[in-house]
Structure 1
Amino acid sequence: MAVTIGQVAQLIEKLAPKFWAEEWDNVGLLVGSGSAQVERILIALDGTLEVVEEAREFGAQLIIAHHPIMFRPLKNLRSDNAAAKIPLLLLNHQIGYYAVHTNLDQSRLSSSFTLGEILDLKEIKLLEEKVSEGTKNLQSNIIPSNLPDEARGYGVIGYLERPEKLEIVWQNFLERLKKSNIYAHPYDLTGVRLAGSLQKEIRKVAIVNGSGGRFVPKALFKGVDLLITGDVDHHAVLDALEGGMAVGDLGHFLSEAPMLQALNYYLSSERALQRVEFKVSKSNSSPWR
């Protein structure tokens, strides 16, 4: 039996319901028809021109992306309107576009969990917890088992097995990233940044995928020694350092890309989607060099 985009959307929303998304966000099926049949799906972080072309070459009928392609209403669909360029390409190639953004960030597939496993954090809890029903019985081989089924929220917090100097913790973390399989493709770690005394003892660690600067006050309040996130601005880093907390900045892409592999595992393991071919984008990577 043929699979439709609507059926794929239902499985995604079982994991990350749309109502979890922030009010300012724009998630769900943004381009295409829920009744359209799908045989191939491309998974990406961003809906770039390169990703659309990759989807076309792959023969995909759907792109599932973390970041929405439209935050503000389009005033027209003219070819000379830069904001309309990608939606028009998708329509021309008959490729649907489904965005799962801040709702995925709060789910069990959040990169925060995966990065926490890379550091082998103990006693993992959510950094900012919210509670909702409807997430029970989710199965994944990469989610922690010590959290209640109904828990959701942003970021994680946990402990290293023993205190280590910041220099050692950061070096070990980056080496584990390079050797791990949490990324579908090998990515260059150029551009990662670290702020704080290299001799500082680290035991309590918080991780927030994406732009996590707003979590600096919460992490400080919870006595975190090291916050690992992406896109931390100058003033947030100064606030962290003044509070005695080190900051590791992976950049936005590297901190969120593990979710692509996690989403790929989750969807490809669904019995209803066994006839669908999935691919994690190769063209989508960090724009920084």
Structure 2
Amino acid sequence: MKLSNIVAFAQQIAPFDLAEEWDNVGLLVGSPEWEVDRVLLALDITPDVVEEARQKGVKLIISHHPVIFSPLHTLRPDDAAYLLAKYDIAALCLHTNLDRAEGGVNTALGAALELKNTTLYPEDFLLVGEPQEPCSAEEYAAFIKEKLHAPSVRFTAGTVTRVAVSSGGGGEGVELAATYGFDAFVTGEMKHHQYLYAKQHGIAAFDAGHFSTEDVVIAPLQNRFAAEFPTVKFLISEANPCPYRAV
């Protein structure tokens, strides 16, 4: 299978023009003319993930976070981008375009949290919906931790009846959640002033960690690519676990 066909399908499910202007998405390493029969999916392309791909005979890694983001001032032998080029492994990165896309990261996060009556607001990086049953913030924090396999969940007090989610570093979405009249907000990173805002406005806000709120998209993404390209083997990386622990 030519890599160009996989890139074209990625364009269909997460159009590159949905990405933020500052973002770097698409085929970042490799040639669209390369032949591909094994693909690895991971949230991040780290040196460990590249080595896993090399050992498994993979010629393409599809990731959420761009392997090349800021301008490269140096390129060393232990850098992931260097290793990709060294081993002729391509990198296809779907970042904020996948956050915004229908069936993308926020859609997957809402599904993992079993939200019902959901609506996606792509421009705001939000998906909104309702929990299966209203509950307290303490109960919902435990539910989030279980469903996302999160090391920990930080939260503010409140009651959960209408939920807005914004994966990864979406803490600023707490203000939009308040504007839209939601009483709960789930994200992957919140700053101190955002917790204060949530408390002041009566919002039960939940920080479940960047990795845990985004890694939920990898399995659905694997299924979509595998259904479109049945002759190509799509694998989920075993070398890209959550990078931190909690006590």
Common topology (TM > 0.5): yes
CA distance in 1, matches of 2:15, 2:9: 10
How many residues are treated as equivalent by the alignment? 245
How far residue 171 of structure 1 moved from its aligned partner, in angstroms, is 2.3
Secondary structure at 1:98 match in 2? strand
Per-residue CA deviations over 1:243-285 (Å, capped at 9, x if unaligned) read 1111111101110011111110100001xx2111110111102
How far residue 201 of structure 1 moved from its aligned partner, in angstroms, is 2.3
Contact 2:145 2:208 in 1 (8 A): no
Aligned residue in 2 for 1:217: 175
CA distance in 2, matches of 1:234, 1:169: 21
Map 1:177-196; keep pairs closer than 5 Å.
177=147, 189-190=150-151, 192-196=152-156
CA distance in 1, matches of 2:115, 2:187: 15
CA distance in 2, matches of 1:129, 1:100: 15
CA distance in 2, matches of 1:26, 1:20: 11
Aligned residue in 2 for 1:248: 206
Map 1:110-149; keep pairs closer than 5 Å.
110-126=104-120, 128-130=121-123
Paired residue type of 1:195: F
CA distance in 2, matches of 1:72, 1:228: 28
Contact 1:110 1:209 in 2 (8 A): no
Per-residue CA deviations over 1:147-196 (Å, capped at 9, x if unaligned) read xxxxxx62211123443222222223433x16xxxxxxxx5x32x22322
Aligned residue in 2 for 1:32: 30
CA distance in 1, matches of 2:61, 2:112: 28
Secondary structure at 1:55 match in 2? helix
CA distance in 1, matches of 2:80, 2:108: 31
Secondary structure at 1:22 match in 2? coil
TM-score, with structure 2 as normaliser: 0.92
Aligned residue in 2 for 1:227: 185
Aligned residue in 2 for 1:68: 66
Per-residue CA deviations over 1:219-242 (Å, capped at 9, x if unaligned) read 111122111110111111111111
Paired residue type of 2:33: S
CA distance in 2, matches of 1:8, 1:28: 11
Aligned residue in 1 for 2:233: 277
Q: Is 1:155 matched up with 2:113? A: no
CA distance in 2, matches of 1:155, 1:120: 16
How far residue 75 of structure 1 moved from its aligned partner, in angstroms, is 4.4
CA distance in 2, matches of 1:41, 1:211: 27
CA distance in 1, matches of 2:112, 2:85: 39
CA distance in 2, matches of 1:155, 1:42: 28
Change (3 A) 1:57 1:222: same
TM-score, with structure 1 as normaliser: 0.79
Aligned residue in 2 for 1:148: none
CA distance in 1, matches of 2:206, 2:26: 31
Aligned residue in 2 for 1:260: 218
Unaligned runs of 5+ in 2: none
Per-residue CA deviations over 1:121-149 (Å, capped at 9, x if unaligned) read 232112x344xxxxxxxxxxxxxxxxxxx
Secondary structure at 2:24 match in 1? coil
Q: Is 1:108 matched up with 2:66? A: no
Contact 2:42 2:236 in 1 (8 A): yes
Unaligned runs of 5+ in 1: 131-152, 179-186
Identity %: 36
CA distance in 2, matches of 1:92, 1:129: 37
Aligned residue in 2 for 1:43: 41
CA distance in 2, matches of 1:194, 1:74: 34
Contact 1:194 1:246 in 2 (8 A): no
